[in-house]
Chain A
Amino acid sequence: MEFAITTDSLAKRFGSGKGSVPALPGVSISVRRGEIYSLLGPNGAGKTTFIKCLLGIVFPTGGSGYILGMPLASIAAKEKIGYLPENHKYPLHLTGEQVLRYFGKLSGIENSQLGARIDETLKLVGMSDWRSMKVKKYSKGMMQRIGLAQAMINDPDLIILDEPTDGVDPVGRKEIRDVLTLIRDRGKTVFLNSHLLSEVERISDRVAIMRKGEVITEGTVEMLTSTKNQYEIRISPDAIAQAKEILGSAFHRADDGLIEAEFMNPNDLNAAIDTLRTNGIAIESLAPKKTSLEDLFIELIGTSDVQR
């Protein structure tokens, strides 16, 4: 399988000697081509440091990694990358179009293609009408959009986005999500760094959760949010008491006709369903119980870390 990003124990310490601080003890991840991969974690978890290591903004102190099969931070790799940093700043005297022109030229786009790329990316992020306005007059949401356009100006194979929906209103966030999905559908890879869990849950193919510089869990959203052996059974609210008695220790809790129950194996589940039906309780729905990414995040990180 081809990977867009692979790192093997990528480490970063700030400072030297006894006073050095381990920002990343050693991160090993593999991001597949054509997926939206999200890195989650509380503030100070090392997400931005990890991205900076990938791009050569800071230098790793250990481990190794490749981007699109090329060494980290190499010029060749950067030609195929688009990056939107957190709190990005553009020269305030430039218009949105001039920003794209400048960074497009730095990305090595030929002058003959630049105009078309600018038109396309501005249209994609819904900024065509404000292309001639100076960026100093842009709202936070507009800055994020022009930043996204800047990251896409060179039609990169890999887009790295650090908090792309930060400060954007719900409508803007949805539009950015749509753009990212569109990019993914075009075969590009999106590496997303965000603390907006609901956003991540909606668009990510795979997610990694980081704490104190280490990836503590990784997988598809489906896999991470599924709960093993736990099911949700919807019945009539009037039959809850009877169902509780029938299910016995398998019963966990019930809320307005929705029962949460745990069974050791599918046979136990089927037997329980049969018993409920035999006792005249109609099953309205049955599904494996899912947790939200937010619940999982809080469970893994701990409330104190989240609040920090």
Chain B
Amino acid sequence: MLKKFIAICEETYREALARKTIIGYFIISTLVILVVMFIFMNPTVKEQMMKVQQYGKKSPNMAADMIMVKALDIFWTVVLMMLNFVTICLGVFSTTGFITSQMEKGTIDLLISKPVPKWLYLLGRYLASLTIIGLQVTYFIIGIWVVVGATMGIWNIGFLGSIPFIVLGFAGIYSIVVLVSVLSGSSALSMIVGIGVYFISSIVAAGRGIAAMSGGESKSLLATIADVLYYILPQTGDMSENMKNLVVGNAITILPIFLIILLASSYFMLSIYFFNKKQF
């Protein structure tokens, strides 16, 4: 069984290489890393950033200096948010085909005729996709981290810690993409649903955050809907929040991590259930 699982993963990696999405992502990542490197190596920028550091160390209680101190945190946060957005969108676009290509007539017949349980195909493809996205994210984040660290002498460990949160967010969205792919066999529909769910879950997280800050006693219908959506859609907004917290050195919240793992597992199990029932 393990050998068959490895064969499915290997084939997914080969397909990813053939689609050139991995190479494209690495080229774009490398370009961004190089741009960041050139920016941070610029003497003016370097001087200003060093000043920020010095001010931060000397007088962190002063309001003006605090803004300066936060500049780097903002930089890290912006990079992470952009990376999170790009990873989930590009990830969905580049990996949906791994599932739907299996469902095509002429391919699925062959796969089912082999002595491999159907669920193993989905599991192999799903986990291989996650490792591809994980590798891409790790390369980009470590690249930025090393560039900033080497040029500025600032080694923010929290930035590195955001890797699993981005992958978890993607895992949640991708589990829904897999489900839609199994049900519909359509790459286009699966991608639309995947990206749509990502945007809705981000809006829901933002909406709940605003509602929590306003602190109203009674719940509106909209708030109730937001609550329901929060528990049935992947908690990508909370993953972003955890990333921000890690970067600025605040505590992260554990519950959304369990929730997103539970949701992704549930959607994935549902995909297996429908895949087993499906006839081709």
Contacts and interface: CB of A to CB of B under 8 A. Distances in A.
B192 interface: no
Contact of B110 (A88, A92, A93, A98): A88
A105 interface: yes
Nearest to B14: A93
A167 interface: no
B3 interface: yes
B47 interface: no
Interface in B115-174: 115-117
A24 B106 CA distance: 21
A282 interface: no
B109 interface: yes
Given A55-B112, A57-B113, A94-B14, A87 B106 contact: yes
B18 A93 contact: yes
Nearest to B1: A108
A88 B107 CA distance: 6
Contacts of B75: none
Contacts of A37: none
Contacts of A105: 3-4, 6-7
B280 A58 contact: yes
Nearest to A136: B18
Task: Name the residue in A56, A89, A106 with the highest tally of chain B Cβ atoms < 10 Å from its Cβ.
Answer: A106
Given A83-B113, A103-B114, A106-B4, A57 B280 contact: yes
A97 B170 CA distance: 34
A131 interface: no
A83 B107 CA distance: 12
B11 A79 contact: no
B111 interface: yes
Given A58-B280, A87-B106, A88-B106, A102 B117 contact: no
Nearest to A104: B7
A108 B4 contact: yes
B120 to A, nearest CB: 9
A57 B114 contact: no
B111 A106 contact: yes
Contacts of B115: 75-76, 78-79, 106-108
A57 B112 contact: yes
B279 A102 contact: no
Interface string B255-280: 00000000000000000000000011
A16 B112 CA distance: 24
Interface in A71-88: 75-76, 78-79, 81, 83, 85-88
- How large, as a class, is the contact surface on chain A? 20 to 34
B4 A103 contact: no
B11 A102 contact: yes
Contacts of B280: 52, 57-58
A91 interface: yes
B227 interface: no
- How large, as a class, is the contact surface on chain B? 20 to 34
B219 interface: no
B15 interface: yes
A251 interface: no
Given A58-B280, A59-B279, A75-B115, A91 B110 contact: no
B116 A106 contact: yes
Nearest to A79: B115
A91 B15 contact: yes
B105 interface: yes
A160 B6 CA distance: 27
B232 to A, nearest CB: 29
A91 B4 CA distance: 17
Contacts of A58: 279-280
Nearest to A55: B113
A106 B106 contact: no
Given A57-B112, A57-B113, A87-B106, A106 B15 contact: no
A102 B7 contact: yes
A214 B61 CA distance: 88
Nearest to B111: A106
Given A91-B15, A102-B7, A105-B4, A85 B279 contact: no
B113 A89 contact: no
A52 B112 CA distance: 10
A103 B110 contact: yes
Interface in A89-137: 89-94, 98, 102-103, 105-108, 111
Interface of B: 3-4, 6-8, 10-11, 14-15, 17-18, 101, 104-117, 279-280
Interface of A: 52, 55-59, 75-76, 78-79, 81, 83, 85-94, 98, 102-103, 105-108, 111, 150, 160
What are the 10 closest A-B residue pairs judged by CB atoms, nearest first?
A93-B18, A105-B7, A89-B106, A83-B113, A78-B115, A85-B109, A106-B114, A58-B279, A79-B115, A75-B115
7 contacts: A57-B112, A75-B115, A79-B115, A81-B113, A83-B110, A85-B106, A90-B110
